[in-house]
Amino acid sequence: MTYSVAVAGASGYAGGEVLRLMAGHPELEVRSVTAHSKAGESLIEVHPHLRSLAALEFVETTAARLAGHDVVVLALPHGASGAIAAQLSPDTLVLDCGADHRLTSESDWGRYYGGDYYGAWAYGLPELLHADGTRQREKLRGARRIAVPGCNVTAVSLGVAPGIQSGVIEGHDVTAVLAVGASGAGRTLRTDLLASELLGSAAAYAVGGVHRHIPEILQNLRLAGAADPTISFTPVLVPMARGILATVTARLTPGADTASVREAWESAYAAEPFVYVLPASQFPASASTIGANTAVIGLAVDDDAQRLVMVVALDNLVKGTAGAALQSLNLALDLPETLGLPVNGVAP
């Protein structure tokens, strides 16, 4: 069976990556692409790398344009998805790559985003461990409304959750510093994203507990079993187009050691097709995940500080966004979870 697809906000980086992956998915046919300022332009003018979709033209983003498709992907700024999604048929599979339906707490939404709160959907991080040992993928089978996670959230959550669930690390003093590629800011004309500003420089942003991904990370840590988690989260914009390298640390629990730590992560991800735990003393580079729906994790116990160091690499546009959307879509439609998703990256 072939499923018809519409992608809203398809002129942006996230929307373009959704299109790239869907173009190689044997069960999907992209029939409509919408945009705001690019409406009326051909897709190939905006995404010249998507040759197989050259016949498509951007149209205005409205619920009427999206209606009638089996699958709708919303790659819109936060605050723009909720009203449109509410007008779509409950039988349509809708995946929101924005933030509008990720948070279960209305007060968190109000504090970090503001505006109307549209409620939480099934959360699209299949590998996320729950405290009882189950995984988030069970919530995605047959779902018709799916919230795709934030890219930074995916890196931190996949890195930390096995330790919380197994009890080898504490959840109340987690730190995370993330090197993030510029595409994470979207396809926006901003002074700090100009090549002359970005190249040869690294700059922290959203410092001091104000980044909008913080409540989503804490929500996931609670799902993994943390009673009262806290995180000091600092993203750093670095001169690369895409990718995330997250360095996360947490306090070891009494009695935890290198062997118990490694057992927790290796057992958690041994059967996962897209999450890899590296051997001892090896750590990932963001470049090794570019173009792939993979997350790669390296672990080190700092005995003197009694902390665990978790280094996580992923492509913010693939595993961090579009790949998560397709992986969740496959589960929702009862297709093989790995269908159409690459594990091989691009190098150099």
Q: What is the CATH number of the domain that holds 208?
A: 3.30.360.10
To the nearest whole number, what is the mean pLDDT of the chain? 96
The two three-digit tokens of residue 42, written as one number:
């051909």
Instruction: Report which of 91, 62, 57, 64 is spatially closest to residue 76, judged by C-alpha positions.
Output: 62
Residue 71 covered by a domain: yes
User: Is the pLDDT score of 270 beyond 80?
Assistant: yes
Residue 348 covered by a domain: no
* CATH (domain of 11): 3.40.50.720
* Mean pLDDT confidence for 233-244: 97
Residue 239 covered by a domain: yes
The dihedral formed by the CA atoms of 180, 220, 311 and 76, expressed in degrees to the nearest 10: -20
Higher pLDDT, 308 or 36: 308
Return the pLDDT at 192. Answer: 83
Based on the domain organization, do 101 and 178 belong to the same domain?
no
Q: How many other C-beta atoms can be found within 10 angstroms of the C-beta atom of residue 197? A: 15
* Mean pLDDT confidence for 262-267: 98
pLDDT in tens, 307-324: 999 999 999 999 999 999
Query: Which of 61-89 are b and which e, b meaning 16 or more Cβ less than 10 Å from the residue's Cβ?
Result: beeebbeebbbbbbbbebebbbebbeebe
Residue 347 covered by a domain: no
Length of the chain: 348
Query: Side-chain half-sphere of 136: how many Cα atoms within 13 Å?
Result: 25
Q: Which residues are catalytic?
A: 151
Based on the domain organization, do 145 and 158 belong to the same domain?
no
User: Is the pLDDT score of 9 beyond 90?
Assistant: yes
Query: Rounded to the nearest 5°, which phi and psi values hold at 270?
Result: -55, -35
Based on the domain organization, do 322 and 183 belong to the same domain?
no
Residue 346 covered by a domain: no
Residue 344 covered by a domain: no
* Mean pLDDT confidence for 226-231: 97
Q: How many other C-beta atoms can be found within 10 angstroms of the C-beta atom of residue 201? A: 11
Indicate the range of 7-11, 22-26, 169-173, 197-201 predicted with least confidence.
Answer: 197-201
Query: Side-chain half-sphere of 12: how many Cα atoms within 13 Å?
Result: 26
Count of structural domains, the chain? 2
Residue 342 covered by a domain: no
pLDDT in tens, 107-125: 999 999 999 999 999 999 9
Based on the domain organization, do 241 and 302 belong to the same domain?
yes
pTM: 0.96
Asked if 164 and 222 count as a contact pair (C-beta separation under 8 A), the reply is no
Based on the domain organization, do 95 and 179 belong to the same domain?
no
Based on the domain organization, do 244 and 259 belong to the same domain?
yes
| Range of the structural domain that residue 306 is part of | 152-314
The two three-digit tokens of residue 314, written as one number:
């992923």
Four-residue CA torsion sign, 119, 122, 126, 130: positive
Query: Side-chain half-sphere of 8: how many Cα atoms within 13 Å?
Result: 27
The amino acid sitting at 27 is E
> Which strand (E) or helix (H) includes residue 88?
none
User: Is the pLDDT score of 188 beyond 80?
Assistant: no
Asked if 274 and 293 count as a contact pair (C-beta separation under 8 A), the reply is yes
Based on the domain organization, do 87 and 169 belong to the same domain?
no
* Mean pLDDT confidence for 271-278: 98
Based on the domain organization, do 51 and 161 belong to the same domain?
no
Based on the domain organization, do 13 and 107 belong to the same domain?
yes
Return the pLDDT at 12. Answer: 95
Based on the domain organization, do 79 and 142 belong to the same domain?
yes
Return the pLDDT at 168. Answer: 98
Return the pLDDT at 243. Answer: 98
Residue 337 covered by a domain: no
Four-residue CA torsion sign, 182, 188, 193, 196: positive
Report the distance separating Cα 42 and Cα 61, nearest Å: 15
Residues in contact with 5: Cβ distance below 8 Å, sequence separation at least 6, in sequence order: 22, 28, 29, 30, 31, 32, 69, 70, 71, 72, 73
Return the pLDDT at 186. Answer: 81
Report the distance separating Cα 176 and Cα 151, nearest Å: 14
Q: Percentage of the chain with pLDDT > 90? A: 93
Four-residue CA torsion sign, 106, 112, 116, 122: negative
Return the pLDDT at 198. Answer: 83
Asked if 75 and 54 count as a contact pair (C-beta separation under 8 A), the reply is no
Based on the domain organization, do 43 and 176 belong to the same domain?
no
* Mean pLDDT confidence for 70-76: 97
* Mean pLDDT confidence for 246-270: 98
Based on the domain organization, do 98 and 119 belong to the same domain?
yes
Return the pLDDT at 190. Answer: 84
What band does 26 get if pLDDT is binned at 50, 70 and 90? very high
Q: How many other C-beta atoms can be found within 10 angstroms of the C-beta atom of residue 337? A: 19
Q: Is 334 left (phi over 0), alpha (psi -120 to 50) or beta?
A: left
* Mean pLDDT confidence for 133-159: 98
